[in-house]
Structure 1
Amino acid sequence: MTKAEIITEISSKTGIEKVDVQETVEAFFKVVKSSMVGGENVYVRGFGSFVVKKRAKKTARNISKNTAIIIPEHFVPSFKPAKTFVEKVKSGNKTSKK
């Protein structure tokens, strides 16, 4: 499902104009991004957590040149779904798309 489809569905279910829904969704993502860039985690009860994870410094190999590469310590965004969300997905009706 694309962001446009989500906005259309929310608009049809709530009766709120698509423009207002789009502004709200964009504002939500902007807050999540800026919070995570600042090192903060974002918790949405019943949905999940947007978490900043720290990756330690490590040595990797460039197999084409057979050289060692140092990958410095860095941070990556991660999402951990809430337990109730995972349970709903497991018990939901799914169709496989290929």
Structure 2
Amino acid sequence: MNQAELIETVATSAGIKKTEAAKVVQSVFEGISSALGRGEEVRLAGFGIFEVAERAAREGRNPRTGDVVKIAASKAPKFKPAKQLRDAVND
């Protein structure tokens, strides 16, 4: 499912226009993104937890030349599914 299909599903299930559903979906994505940007976690009961994972600085290798390359520390979004979501996927 892509974003357009998600918008169509939301519009159909909520009985609203696609333009309104698009605003709702975009608002949800922006809310999750901004919370993660502030370092907060987002808990959605029955769905899962979005959080920020810290990645330490490390050394890697350039696969073409074999030279050692320094990789800077970074943050990455992480998702842990809730039991209900895991069960729904495995049924």
Partner residue, 1:14: 14
List, as ranges, runs of 4+ consecutive aligned residues in structure 1 with deviation greater than 4 Å: none
Unmatched runs of 5 consecutive residues or more in structure 1: 92-98
How far off is 1:16 after superposition?
1.4
Name the SS of the counterpart of 1:54 in structure 2. Answer: strand
Letter paired with 1:55 = R
Q: Distance in 2 between matches of 1:23 and 1:63?
A: 43
Output the CA distance in 2 between the equivalents of 1:10 and 1:73. 38
Deviations 1:12-50, CA, capped at 9 Å, x for gaps: 222112111111110110111111112111111100111
> 1:80, CA displacement in angstroms?
1.2
After TM superposition, give the deviation of residue 67 of structure 1 in Å: 1.2
**TM-score when normalising by structure 1:** 0.85
Q: Which runs of 5+ in 2 are unaligned?
A: none
Change beyond 3 A, Cα 1:15–1:63 = closer
Number of positions where the alignment pairs a residue of Structure 1 with one of Structure 2? 91
- Hey, what does 2:23 align to over in structure 1? 23
TM-score when normalising by structure 2:
0.90
What is the aligned-residue identity percentage?
A: 33
RMSD (Å), alpha carbons: 1.2
